[in-house]
Amino acid sequence: MSRGARLLRSVPITNVPAWEKKGEQLGVKSTDDASADPEQVRRYRVAKYRVALVREGSIPVAEKIVREPADVAKLMTPLVADLDREAFWVLLLDGKNKIIGINLVALGSLTACLVHSREVFKPAIVGSAAAVVLVHNHPSQQPEPSAEDVALTRRLREAGALLGINVLDHVIVTADGRYRSLADDGVLGGAR
């Protein structure tokens, strides 16, 4: 055995951070300078999170596979029937367009609903969705998209592309069963 190897083996490890010490709680490493003023040494605590997708129940569906906007409207019409304000949902789909979940993203006012891409894609990421269908209602019973609806759809399509989650459609539904597909209107990159 070489002399260097013996020296390395005999040197005690004294400067191991607290988070590397087996069997101890996560701690804050103390300062190496014994003369440092304790008031200058700040200790921070960082929150530790566990992300989980919680199943809150289920809703009956006739078809688990989304083939066209009418399938989405059929699923969503009972959910919007009694709403007096706009609500925004995301349908989570697997690689074969089978619905694996639905999430209420936002509940708004009579004429608007504030939606941000992080809230739309959070359940899609946690739920391992390959694609999503965006859905919201118009309490006015007029399914025509507003300029804000079109702009939001384009923004969410771009965000989904960055994440590798395909935005297949954005369907606007009414309580009486009428609907409008923004994919059919060409907003998502060409009419179907």
- pLDDT number for residue 8: 46
- Torsion angle of C-alpha atoms 18, 22, 24, 25, degrees rounded to 10: 70
- pLDDT number for residue 60: 81
Are 160 and 153 spatial neighbours (Cβ–Cβ below 8 Å)?
no
Please state which of the four CATH numbers 3.40.140.10, 3.40.50.300, 3.30.1300.10, 3.30.1360.30 is assigned to the domain occupying 69-181. 3.40.140.10
- pLDDT number for residue 130: 97
Identify the CA nearest to 133 among candidates 109, 157, 164.
157
- pLDDT number for residue 39: 60
- pLDDT (tens place) for every residue of the chain, 192 residues total: 554 444 444 445 455 455 444 444 544 455 455 555 666 567 788 888 888 888 888 888 877 889 999 999 999 999 999 899 999 999 999 999 999 999 999 999 998 999 999 999 999 999 999 999 999 999 999 999 999 999 999 999 999 999 999 999 999 999 999 999 999 999 988 545
Q: Enter the DSSP assignment of 18.
A: G
Alpha helices in 23-174 (DSSP H): 69-80, 117-126, 147-163
In the chain, domain spans: 69-181
Identify the CA nearest to 65 among candidates 4, 133, 2, 163.
133
- pLDDT number for residue 125: 96
- pLDDT number for residue 4: 47
Q: Enter the DSSP assignment of 44.
A: -
- pLDDT number for residue 126: 94
- pLDDT number for residue 133: 98
